[in-house]
Structure formats: C-alpha cells, structure tokens
Chain A
Amino acid sequence: MKKIIYALFAFLFFTACDKDDNTTKVDPVVSVTVTNLPADTIIGITPGVPPSGGMPFGAGKYTFFSLERGVVVPSSDSATNKWDIAFRGTAILTNSGNGGPGAGGAFVYIGLFNDLKTIPSDSTFRIENVPTSYAVPFGSNRGWYVYDGLNNLVTPIPGRVLVIRTATGKFAKVEILNYYKGGVTPAASASDIIKMRDQRYFTFRYSYQSNGTKSF
C-alpha cells in the first residue's frame, strides 16, 4: 500500500464567507478542494458473469482523510481520532459508531454548499452502524450519488452537501464533485475499460470550522 502515491492537490482560496468578517469573532472558513483521492481503486473482476459474478473489486481498504489537517491518514491510524472521513468505492464513512472511535457523524443537506452558512440547531447527525446503515446513506440516489446502470456511471447528485461532525466533534461541510480520475466523468459511450480504470477517484471540496461552532 505504501507504494501507492496519492496524488493529492489542495487548492486554497478565500471564499465569499469573508463577508462574515464584519461580525467579529468568526474565523474566516476556507474552502478546500481535494482532487484525485483514490478510494479502493479496482484491481480485478470476480469470476463468472453478472449478476452473480463479473463484478469489479478493489483491495477492500478505505482511504482515510483528516478534514482538520487536510491530509490522507495512513490506514494504520484507522482506530484513532486522526481521521474524520473515509472513502471506499461509493461508500463514505465517518469516524463514529462502529466505524471508528471518534465522536463523528453526518447527515445529507439538500441545497447549495455556499447557502449552508449555519448548521440548523435541530439537525440530527447519524452515526455509523455498518453495514446496516451508514451515516451518509449508502446506495444510488440515497446519499450523495446516483448510479446509471445502463451506462455504468456514478454521478454525484448536485445539491447534496455532506454535513460532517469530525472525530473531535468539530463541524465541516463537504460537497462531492466527481468520482473519476482528474475530476472528469467518462462519456456514456466510453468503453468499460476506461470507466473501470478511472473510477473511485474522489474530487470534493470542503470547509472545516476549527472553532467548534456550527457556522461557516
């Protein structure tokens, strides 16, 4: 696993949240974009033909990420509070419940990333109870993505914000932008070879509020 070099690019820039500068206290929250985060990329296909076989599979490992520090966390630290969110294929895990020792959790907000300025006080954060239920609901058209079975493509649903409670109980918001290498979804007519090779690479943007408040 160590041989895998994570191509990780973080673009930092100040967002429109700067307007909040007038209201003192609140730290400027930046929006960070992460591209090409591999999430259990495909290494083979199960024997047989669909639906019983012929399914692609990866090594079965999550990629752990710290929203606080903006870095990938080695899987040896999976049982610690060092990570906040983890990716494996289309499954997204928070550091909560039976998913990790942390005080994390999540829910899916329907709306725009920039419109979510304050997490509503009555929001309920779900915690992990995998594989029965995930904090970020697992499956097509349930949580963050939709799977088009005819064209064999995964597309993040626009207008979905993952509101994350981090391992240490801070808050962050995440918008998944793309599921394919380079942040570009292959064309519907592209060959399965390309679709398989390029999938399971996350591009997302997030804002992390370090001061513990629910405002961004």
Chain B
Amino acid sequence: MRFSGLLVGMFFCITAVQGQVGKTTRPDTLYGSANEIIVTATRTEKKLGNVAVPVTLISSKQIAQAGSVRLADILQEQTGLFLTAGFGAGVQMQGLNPDYTLILLNGEPLVGRTAGILDLNRITVGNIKQIEIVKGPSSSLYGSEAMAGVINIITTAPKRNEFALSARYGSFNTSDINATYNYSKNKFSYQGFVNNYHTSGFSLRPNSQTSFVTPINRFTQQHQLGYQFSDKTKLSGSVRFNRERITNEIAVENNGVIVNSEGKESNNDANISASLTHRFNSSVKTNAKLYATTFTSEQELATSSGAPYTDYFKQRFLRFESQTDFSILKNIETSVGAGYLLDRANSTRYDKKESTKENAVGYAFFQSEWKPLDKLVIIGGARYDHNALFAAAFSPKLALKYTLTNNINFKASVGRGFKAPDFRQLYLNFTNTAAGGYSVFGAIEAQKIINALKGIGQIASVESDFYNLSALQPEFSTGYHASFDYTAAKKHTFSVGLFYNNINNLIDSRLVAYRTGGAQIFSYLNVKTAYTKGLEFNADYKIGKYYSVTSGYQFLLSGDASELDKIEQGKVFTRDNNGYSKRLSMSDYVGLPNRSKHQLNLKFQYQKNEAFASLRALYRSSWFVTDTDGNGLFNKNDAKATGFVQLNATVGLRTSKKITVQLGCNNMLNYKDPINMPNFFGRSGFVAINYSIKQSTEK
C-alpha cells in the first residue's frame, strides 16, 4: 500500500520535461571507473585510479540519471557537500563555507561572488562531461579560494557530428531546454550549446506576497572551437555567455512597517578562453592559455516607501598561465607553471561605482610526481602567490599513494591553502536601510568612514575592535587527509577517509561602532581560528547485472579552539530551564553553526537495456542556526534546524535510438522548512524528453 501511495505521489507531482538523457553512449560505469581520465587532482591528465589525492568524479550519466538541471542539483547529492542558502546556492565542503571552494569551468575560475558565494544555480549541467571534485589540501596548487577544495566542471568536447535537443518541464512552471550541435571535420571542430531555464518561482509561506524563489530566466550559450594544426599542436578556444533575468518582489519589514519592493535583477557573465598546446616529444608538453571573464550584476528595486534601491557590481578577471609537463627521469613526472592575473571590480556596494578596485597576482607553481617503487607514488608541490594588495602566500603540499595489496590502496596528503581577502572585505560600504539600519564597512574603508561620521556627530561610540582594525591578512588553512580504498571482486569499491583542516587568521565581521540612534556598524578583522574534522565513507556495490547501490556518509565536527579554551576555563554560560544562568559544559558545545554532524546518502540504481531508474535518499542531521542564549557561541541551547530526509527518484526509457523519455520527482516526502531553508522546494516533478542524432563514426 505504502509503495503504491508513493507511486501515486510521484504521479501527481509530475506536472510535465528534461534533457541530457542518453547523451553519453560511452559504456562507462555510473560512478567513475578507475580508468576515467581526470585533470583537476594533479593539473595533468591522469587515470582516476592512479591519483594520489582524494577526488570525486561525477559523470554525465550520473547527472542525467539524477535529472539534474543546475549545478547545485547534482552537487547536493554528493557525500560531504551541503548547499547553503542566501545569496544563491553555495556549497559547503569539509565543513568550510562556500567562500573557500574554487569553482572552475574547464580549469578556469568563475567569478562574481556575492557575500563570498558563487551561485551554483548560474551553471547549467546540460553540456557537462564530468565534474571533478578535489577536497582538502591537495587543491593548494590552485591558489586563493581553493582552501576547502576545487570543483572543476568539464564540458563536453566536440568529437563527432551530433545534434541533440532536450526539453524538460516541471512543477512551478519550470522549464529547461538544451540544444547542442557538434561538428568535426578534418582538423577543425566546433560545438555550439544553448540552454534556457525558466521558473515562475514559488513561495513556502502561505499568503506571502513574496516568492522565495523569484521568477527567473537564465540563458546560457557556449561555443567551443578547436583546431588541430598537427599531431603535436592544438589550438582551442571557447566563448560562453550566461544571462540571468530575475524578477524581484521583496517585502521587507522594518519595525512593523512593510516596505514592498519590486524590481529587476540581471546577472551577466561572459568567459573567453584560448589555449595553445604543443607536444615537443613524448616527454615534454607545454600549454599556454589566456582567459578573460566578466561578471555584471545589476539590480533595481522600486520600493513602496519611495526610496529606490540600485545595486551594481562588475568584476573583470584576466589571467595568463603557462604550464609545462616533462619527465626527464623515468620515474618522475614534473609540472612547472607560472601565471599572472588581474582582478578588478566596480560596485555601488563600495564607496562609488566609478572607482575601480584592483588586485594583481603573479604566481608560480611546480609539482613532481615520483614513483620510487611500483607500489608507491609520492607527489610534492608548491605554489607561490605574490599579491599586490596583501602579503604573499606560499602553499606547499605533499601526497602519497601506497598500494598495499592488489585491491587496497592507502592515500595520505598534507597541504596548506589560503584565501586572500576579497574586495567586499576590503571595500564594502553597505547600510541596510531596512532591518535595524546596520552598516558594514570593508576593512580599508571602516576607520576612514567612521572617523568622517564622527566628525559630523553621527557616531555615538566605538567598540574596542575599532582600534584593532588593520590591513587584512590572507586566511590560511592546513589540511590533512588519509584514506583507504578497497576494491572487491573487481567491481565493488569502498573507501574510508579522515580529514582535518585547521584555519588561522579567519576573517569575521565584528561590531566596531554605534551610530547616534543605536544602529550598529560592522567591519572585518582577522580574528578567528577554526577547525573542521571528520570522516568520509563511500561505497559502490553492484548487485547482479542490473542493480547497484551506492552510499556515502560524512561525519563532521567543527569548532573554534579559543571558544573551547573559554569553556574549559568556565567563562562561558548558558541558561537552565528556569532561565537562570549555568556554566556551559564542554559536551554542550556544538562548534560552528550551519553544519550537520551526520550526512548520509543512499542511492539505488537500476539499468536494463533501454530502461533505467534511480531512487536517492539524502539525509542530513540537525544544524544550529542562531545563538539564542546570547553567550556568543553555539551550544545545545541554541536554535537549530531539524534534520531531514530528502527522497528523489527518476525513471527513464530509451524509446528509440534517438529518443529518451524521463520522469522524475524530487523531494517526494515534501519536506519543507520555510524558516531555515526558504528556497528549498517542496515536492516537485518533471517530464523530460531528449532527442539526438549522432553520426556513427567517432572522430
């Protein structure tokens, strides 16, 4: 009965269409086999099974079968990744905030973060070949932002003549349409890709005028050109445009007065890259690439109180990088590289739109992979970043892989990563004209602005942290990782790993002054330390010819050593049931907020001939959200969001060589939490159709 109820539920939640199905015809396994080629882990093409650092590979097939549309959809189903809400969907990795994960598209960084978050919904998965995720310190060769890890999105390469069209329609009037055209002849190849995504938005709060996910239209086009001069030399180029149009209806309440705002937001990003690769001989290869990207965000809101709000943000990023791989000695492969990047931003969020904020970074890196024994691989590397605005950063790493037996591998790595202060932390000049009227000023501006306000009598008092304001330093993290991989009967895989990240110099906002009238002024200081540590387990088990079960689990602990010290010294208090103060015990400390201790996923797949189905259960345990007892840290007395299970399912059928049909339902249990997860959809369904014509000969 229960099962039929589920089916009925699925039927009802299906309101209609999706793509990418059947895009992949390679006979790959669903979860990256050891032979898959990956590039992110070592900056060179390597078989997944040979890589010494922990890396997760998400194949296009896995994306298609999950029915994912945006990057956020597929990442939220991965072990150890959590999506965060507010300023778009960010990803929390190994317990570190979204600010610390670098997002790459074909190896080039995406820019345009708001409050440190790059909205993962900006990225369509319609033309993705695979997603490579490198967690922890092994990502240190990627420079700033790659402190928690790197997510590298690899788009499909034009290899054969093909035309594919896919369309999907679902709940909340959500549609997603993809068209891909691949052309390859002789030395020339071209891929054109367009994606259009639309949703009418939804609101979880009844009677609310505000949609929590506002009506959005996203249009992406990407063109890739390749020219193979000879067997040894290849030139390739890529152009991508992404456009978002968002309709805003915002109701902000200030002291009981509701201010309604209506407006439009547009986000545009463009990426242009050119890459030249030359293979001198079998052991020396050089690549030079030039990359430019811009991100522009404009928001205009007309408010019912008459005060219009406009927000403008533009970031321009230019990078040149060259890398040479060579192996002169038989057992040693070496990569050396250097680059220069220029990062510029203009924004109304800073003092004025016209003044350009700029940072230039010159960097160099090297890495050697040494195979002293058949069973042992050792990787050493380092990167040096010379910053125009801050102190230089040096990030070394060391990793090893040891083959214990034919089916057991041991991997360990240690590395240091950093994140340079961003423009927001340096230059922000923001005053919330609604809630409470608080202001946030960047570290470079804060003293200047507050002193100016003081001069005209608008500062009531300054806090001690005002005097601690100084030039911000980069944040540093040292990470450790160790894991075992076990393969049984050549098809089942299990891995268990431990990780530990220790972060120093963490930048946090602090209250620095009060305005006359009581509004608070915040700025940024290097004040905190933090650690995250945990365990990650992944298993992939095949049952018979048609079924497979994969499972992943992450156990996560986090905290701040200085907070632990204070608790140990008995200087931290909370309240008992009567409201009286009591000393906080160590066991009541819960570490950093917004982190779940347990995360579990369990996925069942079925594939037989032309039919496939998958059922995915995702669980996350409760997480703390607000310090309600006023003691300045998070403990069991504070407010938390309850843990929940999300159940997603898809079924699909390849009805002919050209056509695949798919049905899906996400969040089948219809779990909602409007307070803590306002943009988490309730139950939603979709229908998708994929049509593709391929030329049979592979180029």
Contact = CB atoms under 8 A, between A and B. Distances in A.
Contacts, number: 122
Contacts of A60: none
Given A51-B519, A139-B461, A155-B630, A192 B256 contact: yes
Given A50-B433, A52-B517, A196-B255, A155 B628 contact: yes
Interface stretch (A2-10, A80-88, A143-151): A143-151
Interface in B395-440: 431-439
Contact of A192 (B253, B582, B675): B253
Size category of the binding interface on chain A: 35 or more
Nearest to B307: A49
Nearest to B575: A158
B616 interface: no
Given A54-B437, A205-B580, A158 B630 contact: yes
A140 B511 contact: yes
A212 interface: no
Contact of A140 (B433, B434, B520, B628): B520
B125 to A, nearest CB: 33
B581 A188 contact: no
A159 B434 contact: no
Nearest to A154: B630
Given A159-B631, A188-B639, A175 B581 contact: yes
A110 B437 CA distance: 31
Size category of the binding interface on chain B: 35 or more
Contacts of A178: 579
A49 B431 CA distance: 11
Contacts of B514: 139
Contact of A148 (B519, B580, B627): B627
A56 B255 contact: yes
A177 B628 contact: no
A185 B254 CA distance: 18
A90 to B, nearest CB: 9
B620 to A, nearest CB: 20
Interface in B567-585: 571-575, 579-583
A51 B579 contact: no
Nearest to B517: A55
Interface string B500-519: 00000000000100110111
Given A139-B461, A147-B520, A158 B573 contact: yes
B257 interface: yes
B629 interface: yes
Contact of A159 (B438, B573, B639): B573
B305 interface: yes
B435 A152 contact: yes
Contacts of A148: 626-627
A159 B572 contact: yes
Nearest to A187: B639
> Of residues A50, A148, A177, A187, which shows the largest number of chain B Cβ atoms within 10 Å of its Cβ?
A50
A95 B698 CA distance: 91
A192 B254 contact: yes
B632 interface: yes
A202 B433 CA distance: 29
A189 B675 contact: yes
A158 B255 contact: no
A185 B517 contact: no
A139 B519 CA distance: 11
Given A113-B580, A152-B436, A159-B581, A45 B573 contact: no
A177 B517 contact: no
A88 to B, nearest CB: 13
A144 to B, nearest CB: 10
Contacts of B625: 188
A198 B583 CA distance: 28
A54 B253 CA distance: 11
Nearest to B676: A189
Interface in A18-74: 45-46, 49-52, 54-56
A211 interface: no
Given A110-B571, A159-B631, A150 B435 contact: yes
A152 B305 CA distance: 21
A183 B431 CA distance: 32
Contact of B631 (A56, A158, A196): A158
Interface string A130-174: 000000000111000111111110011111100000000000000
Given A158-B575, A159-B581, A54 B255 contact: yes
A50 B519 contact: yes
> Of residues B255, B463, B519, B583, which shows the largest number of chain A Cβ atoms within 10 Å of its Cβ?
B255
A106 B626 CA distance: 31
A185 B305 CA distance: 29
A175 B437 contact: no
Interface string B517-555: 111100000000000000000000000000000000000
Across the A-B interface, the 3 shortest Cβ-Cβ residue pairs: A50-B437, A159-B573, A155-B630
Interface of B: 253-257, 305, 307, 431-439, 461, 463, 511, 514-515, 517-520, 571-575, 579-583, 625-632, 639, 675
24 contacts: A45-B257, A51-B437, A51-B439, A52-B437, A54-B437, A55-B255, A55-B518, A55-B519, A112-B581, A112-B582, A139-B463, A140-B520, A146-B630, A146-B632, A152-B436, A156-B630, A158-B573, A158-B575, A158-B631, A159-B581, A177-B579, A178-B579, A192-B255, A196-B256
Given A49-B434, A50-B433, A51-B438, 17 more contacts: A45-B255, A50-B254, A50-B431, A51-B439, A51-B515, A51-B517, A55-B519, A112-B583, A113-B581, A141-B511, A149-B436, A155-B629, A158-B574, A158-B575, A183-B579, A187-B639, A196-B256
